């Protein structure tokens, strides 16, 4: 059984007043096996964020199902959603989403605090991951006192401290300079090598070329996908660029 199974996903937004409708997703189908590292690409407005929000159970689809380890996340009752997300998913966002009034340490602890863990346990978990992320020296500092790259590393620590089934990343390198981008992508690679399943929405060909598989969304469907296989990141980079050019120039479906 696939870890994540997305079936016939459809999302139609209806504007509040005029009743005009936007079809953001028409029929999205794909699955992700445990341990995969997948990037999702597509032109602006192609429905990537909509898809990620539905996978994260932050929004409901108009139709279709999303199974995470056999459980349909679209059917989880509202009152169970926060706990479901906390127990199963790790999030990494473009703008880090750290709380300014919390130290880096407390930001990282937050999901564990919310699920009622003891301080000793939280501290033990953090000691296990902080050196790998290179953030041991900034744990007492506040988000506004550290660099963008450090903030994103703290956000990754917060995402993995609960040992989530799946990391969902939305444009994680979008606010980073090239050095921090490089280091974040390296970190995702290491996490994936250790078995972490990652799904990342990105506009960056560079970021996507570090994944093991790239899905392209167009017109609300999965239009094409590329597996890295034995290719180098450079070869994958070229294949992604070619596909994006084809999409932008209205090329035909490739599957």
Ligand X SMILES: Nc1ncnc2c1ncn2[C@@H]1O[C@H](COP(=O)(O)OP(=O)(O)OP(=O)(O)O)[C@@H](O)[C@H]1O
**Which residues in this chain contact ligand X in the complex, by CB under 6 A?**
13, 15, 22, 24, 42, 44-50
Give me the least distance between CB of 23 and ligand X, in Å please: 8
Give me the least distance between CB of 22 and ligand X, in Å please: 4
- Element containing residue 5 per DSSP (H, E): strand 4-14
Q: Which is nearer to ligand X, 22 or 82 (CB)?
A: 22
Give me the least distance between CB of 170 and ligand X, in Å please: 8
Contact 77, 23 (CB under 8 A): no
Q: Which is nearer to ligand X, 47 or 164 (CB)?
A: 47
Contact 91, 159 (CB under 8 A): yes
Give me the least distance between CB of 221 and ligand X, in Å please: 13
Question: From CA 133, how far away is CA 183, in angstroms rounded?
Answer: 10
Per DSSP bridges, beta strands 4-14 and 21-32 are antiparallel
Give me the least distance between CB of 42 and ligand X, in Å please: 5
Q: Is 183 helix (H, G, I), strand (E, B) or coil?
A: helix
Give me the least distance between CB of 253 and ligand X, in Å please: 18
HSE at residue 158, side-chain half, CA atoms within 13 A, is 29
Q: Which is nearer to ligand X, 22 or 83 (CB)?
A: 22
Give me the least distance between CB of 19 and ligand X, in Å please: 12
C-alpha distances in Å from residue 43, one per residue of 13, 143, 243: 18, 32, 11
Q: Which is nearer to ligand X, 35 or 174 (CB)?
A: 174
Per DSSP bridges, beta strands 63-68 and 4-14 are antiparallel
Question: From CA 209, how far away is CA 240, in angstroms rounded?
Answer: 7
Q: Which is nearer to ligand X, 59 or 106 (CB)?
A: 59
Q: Which is nearer to ligand X, 44 or 178 (CB)?
A: 44
Question: From CA 22, how far away is CA 20, in angstroms rounded?
Answer: 7
Question: From CA 86, how far away is CA 17, in angstroms rounded?
Answer: 34
Q: Which is nearer to ligand X, 15 or 178 (CB)?
A: 15
Report angle CA 122, 124, 126 to the nearest 5 degrees.
70
């Amino acid at each position: 059984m696939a870890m994540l199974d997305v079936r016939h996903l459809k999302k139609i937004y209806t504007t509040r007043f005029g009743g005009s409708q936007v079809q953001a997703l028409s029929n999205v189908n794909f699955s992700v096996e445990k341990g995969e590292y997948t990037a999702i690409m597509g032109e602006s407005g192609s429905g990537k964020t909509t898809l990620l929000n539905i996978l994260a159970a932050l929004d409901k689809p108009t139709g279709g199902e999303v199974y995470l380890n056999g459980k349909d996340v679209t059917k989880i009752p509202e009152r169970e959603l926060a706990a479901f997300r906390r127990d199963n998913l790790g999030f990494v966002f473009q703008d880090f989403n750290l709380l300014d009034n919390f130290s880096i340490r407390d930001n990282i602890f937050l999901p564990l605090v919310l699920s009622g863990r003891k301080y000793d346990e939280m501290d033990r978990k953090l000691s296990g991951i902080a050196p790998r992320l290179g953030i041991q020296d900034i744990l007492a500092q506040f988000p506004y006192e550290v660099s963008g790259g450090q903030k994103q590393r703290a956000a990754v620590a917060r995402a993995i401290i609960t040992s989530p089934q799946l990391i969902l990343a939305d444009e994680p390198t979008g606010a980073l300079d090239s050095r921090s981008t490089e280091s974040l992508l390296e970190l995702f690679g290491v996490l994936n090598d250790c078995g972490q399943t990652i799904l990342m929405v990105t506009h960056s060909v560079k970021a996507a070329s570090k994944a093991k598989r790239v899905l392209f969304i167009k017109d609300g469907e999965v239009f094409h996908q590329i597996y890295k296989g034995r290719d180098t990141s450079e070869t994958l980079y070229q294949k992604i660029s070619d596909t994006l050019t084809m999409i932008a120039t209205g090329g035909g479906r490739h599957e």
